[in-house]
Structure 1
């Protein structure tokens, strides 16, 4: 008797959870570099006592000081233990980042997490702040509102990411079972593949081979193959993801439960909202 096929909704089920949504003040406790293009900032503080991040695609919104005046304008909590924030009227400088390595500091007993800032030739407010950050500097963190865990039933995890999404990629690798085969395709120059592979290995503890994306990201996915046991996560420059989205949605007809695509930034647009539709001509999933 043939083996019964497992429905995609069951094979790729992802547990969802909600968290208290509030604003938390944090301080820089350490600055390091896990790989040459990244600056790692460790953030900690009493407000993180109930901070939760259980999903590989989680984003926390960091609010940075004004790049000229240095004034930190950011939301504040509605009240102790309550859900919600109060947004100020003045301009703010927020950016979304993936929280890494959430833990309790053994010396202080306070919760802490890391943020990896990718350095650019023309840095924005976040990258510029990270380049000069020092212990004691303060930020405000809002979110994540909730988490969606990695699928535990996938036979294979295919990650197609550019350098901006590497922190999230490390969480995906860490949060799938050891039995899940992991394949990474980097939307980056060939010269970057060595350090990308080293970064993923160092952060995940797994030996992961990184391949180059030839042609469009749709071409890269077609070359890698997406079978019924593969879960696809792709993230990076939003315009690059459009052909890939059309491939998996229309040409391959892959069930929605089997993939997640996220535009982390968009060429020519400052502070792109990663919740915005990847494909403006087809905004519906």
Structure 2
């Protein structure tokens, strides 16, 4: 597939293929079975995979890095997505793409993909789950890019934990697909069509409205500056990093390739000090 060489992130040291980074991940192919549009802003890709260890794909909130373009004489352009669900009997996964009007590598791949399309990916990378053992109520904050992760988390919610979920999106139907879990309240902030994603106050306002903010366990994901503001707010109320699981999936005005270059540069510095991936804190990247 032709692609934009400028989007490729070169790994001249080969760090991303080494054991410290790969851990239990593998690079394998997926074959698209179907692409549907379950809601106005979501394209749901169902794909067949043949992993070495299918059990590793049964954990909720898994990330995978899909190769969406292959420029000539350059590393493939890849994008990270959350696995919405895995069917071990059919060996199929569901991945939700949030549809954007921009001409990005992921949208170009989606536009030409269909049943039978094959591409490579690396995964699964387990992402953090809510802290069910802390004995606190759990507060989840997410924009539309994190809805698949929230779906997977709620689908595997551990009772008797109690919690509250706040989701910001323009797509009510995408929110309404979330499981209804006993003891968990789901709340929607329906962003207006004229409001820019990542530039609205809804999730931070919800965080600041929580009673007794120092008494919660926090899980949050979405735009990086919003995620940082949520983390900073709860830090100010005494929560430590081990009591918050906060992630920046994207950054307003910054391409995913730029973020990946920053990640690789940061990781290269960690490895140069003789340390490993466990020292990597994505939200602290200067991007």
TM-score when scaled to structure 1?
0.70
Question: What 5-or-longer segments of structure 1 have no aligned partner?
Answer: 1-17, 74-88
Q: Work out the CA distance in 1 between the residues paired with 2:84 and 2:23.
A: 17
Q: For residues 63 and 117 of structure 1, what CA distance do their matches in structure 2 show?
A: 14
Distance 1:131 1:264 in 2: 22
Distance 1:255 1:175, change over 3 A: farther
Aligned to 2:101, which of 121, 137, 153?
121
Q: 1:50 aligns with which of 39, 53, 61?
A: 53
Once the two structures are superposed, residues 78-116 of structure 1 have per-residue CA deviations (whole angstroms, 9 ceiling, x without a partner) of xxxxxxxxxxx623110001112212345xxxx211110
Structure with more of its chain in helix, by fraction: 2
Partner of 1:231: 217
Q: Does 1:95 align with 2:79?
A: yes
Q: Assess if the C-alpha contact under 8 Å between 1:54 and 1:149 holds in 2.
A: no
Cα distance, 1:90–1:231 mapped onto 2, change above 3 Å: same
Over 3 Å counting, the alpha-carbon distance change for 1:225 and 1:141 in structure 2 is: farther
Q: Does 1:183 align with 2:164?
A: yes
Q: Which residue of 2 aligns with 1:25?
A: 29
Distance 1:226 1:241, change over 3 A: farther
Q: CA–CA distance in 2 between the matches of 1:133 and 1:54? A: 25
- Say if 1:19 and 1:146, in contact at 8 Å, map to a contact too: no
How is 1:108-257 mapped onto 2 (pairs within 5 angstroms)?
A: 111-146=91-126, 148-153=128-133, 154-188=135-169, 192=171, 194-201=172-179, 208-212=185-189, 215=201, 217-225=203-211, 230-249=216-235, 251-257=236-242
Q: Is the 8 A contact 1:173 1:182 kept in 2?
A: no
CA contact (8 A) 2:64 2:83 kept: yes
Cα distance in structure 2, aligned partners of 1:19 and 1:280: 22
Q: How far off its partner does 1:58 sit?
A: 2.6
Which of 39, 45, 49 is the equivalent residue of 1:41?
45
Distance (whole Å) between structure 2 residues aligned to residue 269 and residue 96 of structure 1: 15
What is the deviation of 1:169? 0.9
3-state SS of 1:100 partner = strand
Task: Return the match for 1:260 from 240, 245, 250.
Answer: 245
- Residues 208, 199 of structure 1: CA spacing in aligned structure 2 closer, same or farther, 3 A cutoff? farther
How many equivalent residue pairs?
234
Unpaired runs of 5+ residues, structure 2, are 1-21, 191-199, 264-279
- State whether residues 155 and 179 of structure 1, in contact with CA within 8 Å, keep that contact through their aligned partners in structure 2: no
How far off is 1:145 after superposition?
4.2
Indicate conservation of the 8 Å contact 1:216/1:243, yes or no: no
